[in-house]
Amino acid sequence: MTTERKRPRSRARRVALIVVLTVVGLLVAGVVGIVIWSQVGVMDAEAGPWDEVRQDDRIAVSDTGGNVVLTPADGASETGLVFVPGAKVQAEAYAAKLSGLVAEEGMTVVITRPWLNLAFFDPRPLSTFTDAAPDVDTWLVGGHSLGGVRACQLAGHADGLVLFASYCSNDVSDSGLPVLSISGSEDGLSTPEKIRDAAPLLPPDAEFVEVAGAAHASFGDYGPQAGDGTPTIDDADMAAEITASVAELLPRL
């Protein structure tokens, strides 16, 4: 009788063990799959624009804590921008488009390197990145595409928010933050319609700038992007538009 009672228990334990091992195996496979996927199709920075930034004697370039940090060569900077790249875009790809903020407006720019090349998988707080420039007192947070969505989540710890071809998925309409949204008329991913539809999530006094001729990939230097529109604006004019638009936001900080 004792042996007969033990057999069903033993069988149940084996079934439970098989179920647990199967679930663990699926989880491990899922994690490995995400890691592999995050490393495939990464859009590298174009060499030319990145080299121009490094050769600009008005800009000091460093790699601090895994971030690309651009600071005025004279060391004087009171305002900074933490910039979160779009999905699978190399951090250096944004340096040239943001360089005018450093060389002309005296800002510090910290371009993050998100975990797994995807901002959604990076839980680090804003202070992780602002610590790269401890002398800066006032911080904007911003990002391109998916990076902008992540920037919205970090905005509560910043002094202002800048969206580059992006929009929020969380509501910051009551935050009281100065907000700037820069988008492109030819963007095939963060389309003008998507920007308008998400506008109610931003404060009522948010500023919107639509750059004529700009596509989604116009905000960086990493080549064309699948599903995007065709840009008609050149890189120099695009960089100037970004610099001028952000500069107009600074007095509100």
* Tens digits of pLDDT across the chain (253 residues): 444 455 666 777 776 666 665 555 545 444 444 444 444 468 999 999 999 999 999 999 999 888 999 999 998 899 999 999 999 999 999 999 999 999 999 999 999 999 999 998 899 999 999 999 999 999 999 999 999 999 999 999 999 999 999 999 999 999 999 999 999 999 999 999 999 999 999 999 999 999 999 999 999 999 999 999 999 999 999 999 999 999 999 999 9
Q: Do 161 and 178 contact (CB within 8 A), yes or no? A: yes
Q: Which of 197, 164, 204 is nearest to 183 (CA)?
A: 164
Give the pLDDT of residue 164.
Answer: 98
As a whole number of angstroms, the distance between CA 121 and CA 80 comes to 24
Q: What is the pLDDT of residue 14?
A: 73
Phi-psi region of 60 (alpha: psi -120 to 50; beta: other; left: phi over 0): beta
- Dihedral (CA of 63, 85, 132, 55) sign: positive
Q: Taking Cα atoms as reference points, which of 150, 163, 251 lies closest to residue 211? A: 163
Query: What pLDDT is stored for residue 32 in this prediction?
Result: 43
pLDDT given at position 7: 62
Question: What pLDDT, on a 0 to 100 scale, did the predictor assign at position 66?
Answer: 86
Give pLDDT, residue 17. 63
Q: Which residues contact 133 (CB under 8 A, 6 or more apart)?
A: 64, 69, 71, 77, 80, 108, 110
Segment holding 141, helix H or strand E: strand 138-144
Residue 115's alpha-carbon distances to 37, 79, 81, 131, 226, in angstroms, are 13, 25, 19, 18, 23
**162-167, Cβ contacts within 8 angstroms, sequence gap of 24 or more:** 162/81, 162/246, 162/249, 164/83, 164/219, 164/242, 165/189, 165/190, 165/214, 165/216, 165/218, 165/219, 166/190, 167/194, 167/195, 167/197, 167/198, 167/199, 167/201
Q: What pLDDT score does 31 carry?
A: 44
Q: Which residue matches tokens 């804003």?
A: 126
**CA 156 to CA 236: how far, in whole Å?**
32
Angle at 178 between CA 201 and CA 96, to 5 degrees: 100
H/E stretch holding 195 reads helix 192-197
* H helix or E strand, kind and range, residue 33: helix 2-39
